[in-house]
Structure 1
């Protein structure tokens, strides 16, 4: 690379940018990768890297070694920050619990349907038995039976207290 009067005022490091700029980019990269951004939303995108480092996009692009390191480190973590990884793990846990509760609810719904069917069948049988008893003999209400009376008896006399 040749030095012109315009670039002589800004000495270049072997990384393609000034040493201070390279340090800023590396610090920004480390903050983003560790999930501790200061100036961005923390997503692992190059747009956040240059903003986090407080340099221009063009300056960031000149730092070819740092950009190669960025690409490799982002690929190593699948582009997911630690906080995103925690959220993803929590999401998986919650989805598993939801599926379990859905299965449990379905099971209880089936049991409720079976109980309702059994109750309806018992009610029907009870109605038929009452009708049969009414045609074949005398039907005595439970209240009368408990008090010792039947339909044909007069109510007991109750005197003054």
Structure 2
């Protein structure tokens, strides 16, 4: 395999820095080898021949993802706790509604035909 030139390696390293800092000029910003090649202005084959740059790129991407996942966990845990509390609230409200429905049914069943006469009206 033919190694890449120093200028190509420099272009790949500059492209890697732009992608990792989140300010690409040409590519869509995803951290892939294809976007690295596009950002550097070289072919995918040329980018794949730069093994040292690719190793550094993959290592930096892995560190970036690990850092992002580590910071997302507390937020995810907080979100899960918030969802758990919301579910508990809905279940408690459901129990209250069922209890009220049962109370209304008991009152309806115990109700007798109470007739209240209207005062002041004469019957024939």
The question of a shared fold, defined as TM-score above 0.5 by the shorter chain, is answered with: yes
Q: Does 2:39 align with 1:55?
A: no
Of the structure 1 ranges 57-66 and 109-118, higher mean CA displacement relative to structure 2 is found in 57-66
Separation in 2, partners of 1:31, 1:96? 37
Q: 1:95: how far off?
A: 5.5
Higher helix share: 2
1:41 aligns with 2:28: yes
Q: Residue 37 and residue 114 in structure 1: after superposition, are their counterparts in 2 closer, same or farther (change >3 A)?
A: farther
Match of 1:77, SS state, is helix
Indicate the residue corresponding to 2:102 in structure 1: 117
Aligned to 1:22: 9
1:73: which partner in 2? Answer: 60
Give unpaired runs (5+ residues) of structure 1.
Answer: 1-6, 8-15, 156-161
Give the Å deviation of 1:79. Answer: 7.1
Q: How many residues align?
A: 118
Runs of 5+ unmatched residues, structure 2: none
Matches of 1:95 and 1:53 in 2, distance apart? 41
- Greater relative CO (CA pairs within 8 A, separation 6+): 2
Is the Cα contact below 8 Å between 1:39 and 1:51 reproduced in 2? yes
Q: How large is the RMSD of aligned CA atoms in angstroms?
A: 3.1
C-alpha distance in 1 between matches for 2:107 and 2:23: 66
Q: For the Cα contact (< 8 Å) 1:61–1:67, is it kept in 2?
A: yes
CA distance in 2, matches of 1:38, 1:107: 53
